[in-house]
Structure 1
Amino acid sequence: MTPLAAAVEAAFAPQGPLARADEHFRPRSGQTAMALAVARTIGQGGVLVAEAGTGVGKTFSYLVPALLSGERLLVSTATKALQDQLHARDLPRLLGALGLPLRSALLKGRASYLCLHRLEHARQGGAAHDPQVLRALALVETWARGTRSGDLAELPGLDERSPVIPLVTSTRENCLGTPCPHWNACHVNQARKEAMAADVVVVNHHLFFADLAVRESGMAELLPTVRVVVFDEAHQLNETGVQFLGLQTGTGALIAYARDVLRTGLEAARGFADWLILSGNLERATRDLRLTAGRHAPGSRLPWPGREPQGVSAVAWQPALDAVAHACHALVSALDGVQEMAPDLARLRVRGAELMERMAGFTRPCGPDAVRWLDIGTQLRFVESPLDIAQTVRSRLLGVGEGTTGEAVAPRRAWIFTSATLGDDAGLRWFTEPCGLEDAEILRVDSPFDYARQSALYVPRGMPHPADPAHSLQVAALAGEAAGRLGGRTLVLTTTLKALHAIGAALQQRLQGAGIEVLVQGQWPKHRLLERFRQGSAAGRAGCVLVASASFWEGVDVPGDALQLVVIDKLPFPPPGDPLVDARSQRLEAAGRSAFRDYALPEATVALKQGAGRLIRHESDRGILVVCDPRLLGMGYGKRLLAALPPMRRLADGGAFDAALEALTRTSTTDCSAP
């Protein structure tokens, strides 16, 4: 046994430092097994892919060996919220327990930090005339006088959707760089300096891949100094990566550019050009371009295999693009003559040139192994995306080819990829194939929970097919009846926004006056919805039902009796007609494989496992999972989906479901204090 392995075993022992530091700590064989596998990977280098079921304690499993190894560590999480939790709670707790004097740092993207230069000019923009924006801006200005980090997550009372945030933060495009008068005091620069000096650095997947794409956040400088890299919640890695490794722009960026030039031109170069006409021409041409796309449902993705997106007039599209290019070129040309007058003008000149180059990229053929589409919303978003991140991971991370700095990556670097859900087969192919990790060591650690005792699965018979318009109303009826008996404590997960709105509205109507509050995603910010839902009926408040979609299928942790029923409306297959889904399916079919068996079904399986994982979060939790999709029992592939779910006991019929609900009303699961 290596010294590191011995130290890891000692840390997790019944009388070890973790047990002494926390009276609720209990040794778990799966947690120790994963920690030893991480220690082995750190010692010999290489790649470990570890699926650790809910309750294993995977965070301690990778942190303990990584911290005890003495190696410099980079941890990447799926979201900024998880990043904050890891840095503010888990790391200090472990460093204290292990007695390690290590320094940790948090590093986020530009949009998370206050920009002192943009704060100075925030009141001059048109949006600052809105009373709501002015109130938020005053809050930021007061906080700015005392903050050390400049991390807006530390500002209480600021909604993450607030329109003031873009006014007081910078982007790669509008940052002035070294000419900025606040360069030395810049919060982004300070965060990067702290990261370079730290023993443990916590980032997020978005920042990691954004930096691989543009090499701007300092990761290219940081990564070569790190020997151990951990990707937590790694199941999101592929979808996050493809967002940044392609090409993107849109009408929103063009309009923002036009308005920034107008404001800065009038401030710093009034009279040197007719900024009002020039910026107005670009904004008008951009709005005309938006009109050429026609009317489509918000969120639609139009495939773009040729010169113009499908469903868009070929006659109108190219002239509209040419008009935008001409108006943008006129603005950049005007900036040519005045860029020496102020750093803001020089940066706008560069920004305009980059914007024109990105727009021009969409007039050229789509790259190989990529897919292009047009996102439809209030604005248009042009997207060209790789189908996966496999080649990038192999060549730029693992050292198969060139490293991130142009030199071979150190061969003994340890890469740890972990999540509660990474696939449904022994090789975890759903994760390893698109991430280029087919040669990695695979470890699967089962959850320690007693699912057969703690939970039950019910698939109601007689439910309409999900394509039937009556399906959502039937789901709402079942969820409403059950939530009424439980006094709330219900999470309804939907696969589409249409179902979200239909089920949410039906439940609000059904439970009105029943002493149960129905929360619907989109009505409040996510953190407020979850905060209220976790409160449940505590302190005399009404019980809660939460109806949600998309991001609520994962990363939502509601232990205890605030959540005892999870209702899933239908099996979460990838959306048909989505350009990225179709391109991935076509690639598999061209290789002689089945797009359904090798892509659609694994995608649905992993998503279903994620949704089901919201129910049982602690050894004392009790609950029922309801999947309102008859295909789970009636189709052959249902067996694969059922096998992937936790081993819950099965409820055969409505009578058994009623009895299980009745049993929940007689029990309480308030003891959720253990780690």
Structure 2
Amino acid sequence: MPTTLPERVAQVFAPDNVLARVDAHFQPREGQTRMAMAVARTIETGGALVVEAGTGVGKTFSYLVPALLSGERVLLSTATKALQEQLFARDLPRLVETLGLPVRTALLKGRASYLCRYRMELARQDALAQERDIARVLARVQDWSRHTRAGDLAELAGLDERSPVIPLITSTRENCLGSPCPRFRECHVHLARREALAADIVVINHHLFFADVAVRESGMAELLPSVRVVVFDEAHQINETGVQFLGAQLSTGQLLDFGKDLLAAGLQYARGMADWAGLATLVELAARDLRLVAEKTPVGSKLRWTQETPEGVPGAQWQDALRRVAVACTQARDALAMVSEMAPDFVRLHARGSELLAHLARFSDPAPPDAVVRWVDVGAQLRLIESPLDIAVAMRTRVLADPAESESESADGDAQPPAMDPGRAWIFTSATLGEDEQLTWFTQRAGLQDAEILRVASPFDYAAQAALYVPRHLPPPAEPTHSRTLAQWVGDAAEPLCGRTLVLTTTLKALRTIGDALKARFEARDDLQVLVQGEWPKRRLMERFRAGATAGQPGCVLVASATFWEGFDVPGDALQLVVIDKLPFPPPGDPLVEARAQRIEKAGGKAFPSYSLPEAAVALKQGAGRLIRRESDRGILVIGDTRLLTMGYGQRLLAALPPMRRLASEQEFAAALQALRTAP
């Protein structure tokens, strides 16, 4: 009888064993078993394991089986809520039943995913609620609220994730009243956290994890100390997710919300006790004045902020605007202090005012040199942002550290980071974690240089299943005609396939240009539909594209950017052509990108090979990974950037891609396309 965890795991993955008996499609894979054994050893001994598991390895079962068999409390963190739901609703129940284990599981999301009954009551008084469409959606929510137990908005079919109703019916860290809330006993967030504390396996997402690291407020502060095994799936996203939460932000939107809530609470609970309308107006005007400081700056700009004021902003006007915000928030906070005992809303609003003033003071002081980067994001609102360059220090000192060991002082007085908690096991896995054997793209930024590294190749036969083609006639990506020329070429290629095409763009400008051109070309066709990101909710776009040319529906071409580069799984022949418009180098004008490059240069390195190329390689690998999802899939990857063939760094990027066969000419591409059309 197997006694150790690795032995029990090996037995589960053996031919003709439990997985094979319950899943007719299960086939033992050497890579999957090797990963599962490494996870099992790490769980037994503690420490950190980083695993790059290529598409098709079956990494989910590779960490779930040893996690379940270990008998330990386990935290599973995924990149998105969609992946959370897949783990919780499909993969976990299936394995728990298969292995016959008495395991309790729980799903925990952030506040914005749950209905707040108190905010829903307040929403009826909001001006937005008087609009017919908003009122109709609110009525649906109120009807659903009478029957739901979890309060998870994902239960509401057809609710657009972009709906203006969602902020009205959900709470935030800033406006949640906590235990004094009159609806606290029915609070869905509180219920979800209680269930998580009682569960053996808890499924969360990276945003929730790092929100807790930043503010110790999301419910994880109680949960994490009791968990011995932590697994990050889609771990390549944790650095960019982490830096969002480990810095600081102050926005004019926060100020406007504060003013609106101040007015509503004041008139409801303390009418006549203060000039609530005047105080709210003062906050609103200060926020608008701050936004107007950058009124001549194009929307979408990111203003560098290396000096006392952001670039391109008049210094005197900037300082005056910040002063007016401080005066407005101070007066509001002082008025709230006078009535704080009258309602819990005032206690929370007073804390919000104090937090806004603390952030304002932070942004009024110079940014710490080298450690962080600061900038202003110009949109419908103005956002003041300060961010660390990566999460390495936070991971070593606030996540991986032994909680029993405080920071020690070295002989020269420098603080030394505490050692890793020896009793806890940390598993980090993704299909794409770097381009070198040590996965330094991931490990250096995550503070995991001492972790065990394992790379497991994809079992797919890419040479037989997929081809790579770079059209040589396309203009250089910097030419203004590039996107229009590529759109014409994509239309020619997608037409004989009747869709089955995903176009991934590196910029929103290219998204619009290519999307508009393809929609104009095929608008009169009833056998081919062009979908463009942003026109529908993301989930609806995904579902429609996966359906393909079925049930009388036309085939699809989807033009997308950003999040569609990863986590978009389309197995089967609904997707046979993936087109990447150009090499996905990090945007040079982005303040975070510039600061990271400058740090490398200051240390004596070269930013392009050390930063830009690895970034592009990982992104390219992610985009290419959309094409082949099963052993039976066939398809062509097209990269519309001739630099892949003409520049010296092209070989390094090609090496990062799966080993697909190469198509050297338009004739070879046409033949490969024809083979896809005629394949059974």
The CA distance in 2 between the partners of 1:431 and 1:445, in whole Å, is 16
2-side partners of 1:504 and 1:298: how far apart?
21
Q: How far apart, CA to CA, are the structure 2 residues paired with 1:405 and 1:503? A: 53
Post-superposition Cα deviations, 1:355-408, rounded to whole Å, max 9, x if no partner, equal 111122100111241000001100011110000000111112221687799998
Q: Say whether 1:367 aligns with 2:379.
A: no
Q: Do the aligned partners of 1:569 and 1:629 also contact (CA within 8 Å) in 2?
A: yes
1:291 corresponding residue in structure 2: 292
1:154-303 equivalences under 5 Å are 154-303=155-304
Task: Deviation per CA, 1:514-537: give whole Å up to 9, x if none.
Answer: 331110011111101111111111
Matches within 5 A, 1:454-465: 454-465=465-476
How far does the alpha carbon of each residue in 1:305-356 deviate from its partner, in whole angstroms, 9 at most, with x for none? 1221111111211111111111121111221211211111221111111111
Show the 5 A alignment for 1:202-601: 202-368=203-369, 369-399=371-401, 410-514=421-525, 515-601=527-613
The secondary structure found in structure 1 opposite 2:86 is helix
Give the distance between the partners of 1:404 and 1:659, measured in 2 at CA: 65
Q: Quick check: 1:220–1:404 contact (8 Å CA) kept in 2?
A: no
Q: Given residue 241 of structure 1, which amino acid in structure 2 is its aligned partner?
A: G
- Written as runs of structure 1 = structure 2, the 5 A alignment for 1:61-72 is 61-72=62-73
Amino acid at match of 2:435: D
For residues 98 and 503 of structure 2, the distance between their equivalents in structure 1, rounded to whole angstroms, comes to 39
The amino acid that maps onto 1:499 is A
- Give 1:50's aligned amino acid: V
Kept in 2, the 8 Å contact 1:485–1:665? The answer is: yes
What secondary structure does 2:551 align onto? helix
How far does the alpha carbon of each residue in 1:136-170 deviate from its partner, in whole angstroms, 9 at most, with x for none?
Answer: 11111111111111111112121111111111111
Once the two structures are TM-superposed, the CA of residue 106 in structure 1 deviates from its matched residue by 0.7
Question: 1:37 aligns to what?
Answer: 38
SS at match of 2:102: coil
Amino acid at match of 1:176: L
More deviation, 381-390/307-316: 307-316
Unaligned regions of 5+ residues in structure 1, if any? 669-675
Against the structure 1 CA distance between its residues 630 and 409, is the aligned structure 2 distance closer, same or farther, given a 3 Å change threshold? Answer: closer
CA offsets 1:170-194 (integer angstroms, 9 cap, x no match): 1111111121112222111111111
Q: Is the 8 A contact 1:395 1:401 kept in 2?
A: no
Provide the residue aligned with 1:626 in structure 2: 638
Find the counterpart in structure 2 of residue 672 from structure 1.
Answer: none
Query: Are residues 1:646 and 2:658 paired?
Result: yes
Alpha-carbon distance in 2 for matches of 1:279, 1:207: 31
Change (3 A) 1:400 1:634: farther
Structure 1 segment 113-152 matched on structure 2, within 5 A? 113-152=114-153
Q: 1:16: which partner in 2?
A: 17
Structure-2 separation of matches of 1:409 and 1:32? 27
- Distance of aligned partners of 1:403 and 1:302 in 2 relative to their CA distance in 1, 3 Å threshold: farther
Deviation at 1:64, TM superposition (A): 0.4
CA deviations 1:11-69 (Å, max 9, x no partner) are 11221111111111111111011000101111111110000000000000000011111
Aligned equivalents of 1:401, 1:64: Cα separation in 2: 28
Correspondent of 2:621 among 599, 609, 616 = 609
Q: Which amino acid aligns with 2:444?
A: E
Distance in 2 (CA, whole Å) between partners of 1:58 and 1:238 is 20
1:74 matched to which residue of 2? 75
- Calculate the aligned-residue CA RMSD, in Å: 1.5
How far off its partner does 1:285 sit?
Answer: 1.6
SS at match of 1:588: helix
Q: Single out whichever of 248-257 and 403-412 deviates more from structure 2.
A: 403-412
8 Å Cα contact 2:67/2:74 also seen in 1: yes
Please report how far the alpha carbon of residue 235 of structure 1 lies from its aligned counterpart in structure 2 after TM superposition: 0.2
Q: For residues 530 and 297 of structure 2, what CA distance do their matches in structure 1 show?
A: 30
**Alpha carbons of structure 1 residues 404 and 117: separation in structure 2 relative to 1, 3 Å:** farther
1:520–1:546 contact (8 Å) kept in structure 2: yes
* Aligned-partner SS, 2:62: helix
State which drifts further: 415-424 or 270-279. Answer: 270-279
Whether the 8 Å CA contact 1:397–1:403 is kept in 2: the answer is no
Percent identical across equivalent pairs? 66
Is the partner of 1:395 in helix, strand or coil? helix
The count of corresponding residues between Structure 1 and Structure 2 is: 668
Deviations 1:384-435 (A, max 9, x none): 0000000111112221687799998741211000000000000101000000
Q: What SS does structure 1 have at the residue aligned with 2:667?
A: helix
Residue 362 of structure 1: SS of its match in structure 2?
Answer: helix
Alignment partner, residue 673 of structure 1: none
**1:60 matches 2:71:** no
TM-score, length basis structure 1: 0.97
Residue 448 of structure 2 aligns with an amino acid whose one-letter code is L
Query: Contact (CA 8 Å) 1:484, 1:511: kept in 2 or not?
Result: no
Whether the 8 Å contact between 2:565 and 2:623 is mirrored in structure 1 is: yes
Q: In structure 2, the residue corresponding to 1:546 is in which secondary structure?
A: strand
Aligned equivalents of 1:442, 1:252: Cα separation in 2: 43
In 2, the alpha carbon distance for the partners of 1:46 and 1:364 equals: 39
Match for 2:400: what amino acid? Answer: L
Call closer, same or farther: CA 1:169–1:81 in 2, change over 3 Å: same
Q: Give SS of 2:510's match.
A: helix
Structure 2 SS opposite 1:163: coil
Q: After superposition, what is the alpha-carbon deviation per residue over 1:565-613, rounded to whole angstroms, capped at 9, x for unaligned?
A: 0000000000011110000001111111111111000000000000000
Contact kept? 1:78, 1:205, Cα under 8 Å: yes
Stretch of structure 1 that moved more, 119-128 or 239-248: 119-128
Which residue type is aligned with residue 571 of structure 2?
P
Looking at structure 1, the residues matched to 28 and 445 of structure 2 have their Cα atoms a distance apart, in angstroms, of: 34
- Structure 1 residues 175, 653: closer, same or farther in 2, change over 3 A? same
| 1:296 Cα offset (Å) | 3.0
State the AA in 1 paired with 2:107: L
